[in-house]
Amino acid sequence: MDIIVCIKRVPQTAEAEVKTDSSGKDIEKDRLTFDINESDTYGLEEAVLLKEKFGGIITVISLGYPDTEDTLRIALAKGADTAIRIKAEDFEELDGLKTAQLLRTVIKDIHFDVIFTGCIATDDAYSQVGVTLAELLNIPHATLVTKIEVNNNITHIHRELEGGLLEHLEISTPALFTIQTGINVPRYASLIAIRRAARKEIKLVGQNEINKNELLLNTQIDKLFVPPATKQVEILTGSPSEVSTKLASIIKEKGLI
């Protein structure tokens, strides 16, 4: 089973103070640490598990700048066989659509049975690249996948729905799945594997290898800013009777009843 895993190098912002840079279109990244996108890590692990069971080749692809090659080498150390970096520095502003188009121009010439992407990127939270890529490749897809079982050319998929529900699908390959966190337990790369990966070649694809006529228009960021705090939370205190009276008064005041 030949598998392609699309991964992204993202800043770790959960515990960092995020500020916009001087351009007003991006965030300051000087003091941020970077790592592989969380759900992409689970997608890579799922690919390695399937490879261990069925054999095949895992190709990891990332659209990013030169430092993305460090992330690709970690993926190689964890079990991927080949790696490709699409040179983000060769292209202008990138959104979900343009990212999917650039990935398609590379993937269309590679044999694959399954493509894995993360269900969401923790930096921009688009959740668009996977499904858009599937449509551009004209293959079936499923999102928020939490379990995968393969039987011949049929893939049994369990995916999350709203309200805690799960959906079971039977999808023939080739297909694309966006992977939810928690589907497995991602492995760590050993030091020996990391050293071996450091010697592996990473294929570079830039504007000279990509036909720009295949790229559609993309959106552009005019301004990036932190939303101003315009509302405040009011905590109602007192006995249940007093709280309910205050709440009823607020609802009437706001014209909700």
- Structural domains of the chain sorted by starting position, each given as residue range(s) with its CATH number in brackets: 3-214 (3.40.50.620)
pLDDT of residue 233: 77
- Residue 202 zone, left/alpha/beta (φ > 0; ψ -120 to 50; rest): beta
Residue spans of the chain under pLDDT 70: 231
pLDDT of residue 32: 83
User: Which whole-number Å values give the CA distances from 100 to 6, 46, 137, 226, in the listed order?
Assistant: 10, 21, 10, 27
Bridge-based pairing of strands 141-151 and 175-179 is: parallel
pLDDT of residue 12: 85
User: Which whole-number Å values give the CA distances from 49 to 1, 35, 64, 209, 220, in the listed order?
Assistant: 11, 21, 26, 32, 38
Report whether 159 contacts 167 (CB < 8 A): yes
Strands (E), 7-140: 9-11, 34-36, 58-64, 82-87, 114-118
pLDDT of residue 228: 78
The one-letter amino acid code at 26 reads: D
- Cβ of 25: how many Cβ atoms within 10 Å? 13
User: Which whole-number Å values give the CA distances from 98 to 2, 101, 130, 148, 218, in the listed order?
Assistant: 25, 5, 12, 28, 6
What separation, in Å, do the N-terminal and C-terminal C-alpha atoms of the chain show? 60
Condensed to tens digits (0 to 9), the pLDDT of residues 11-67 reads 887 777 788 888 888 888 888 889 999 999 999 999 999 999 999 999 999 999 999
Report whether 118 contacts 39 (CB < 8 A): yes
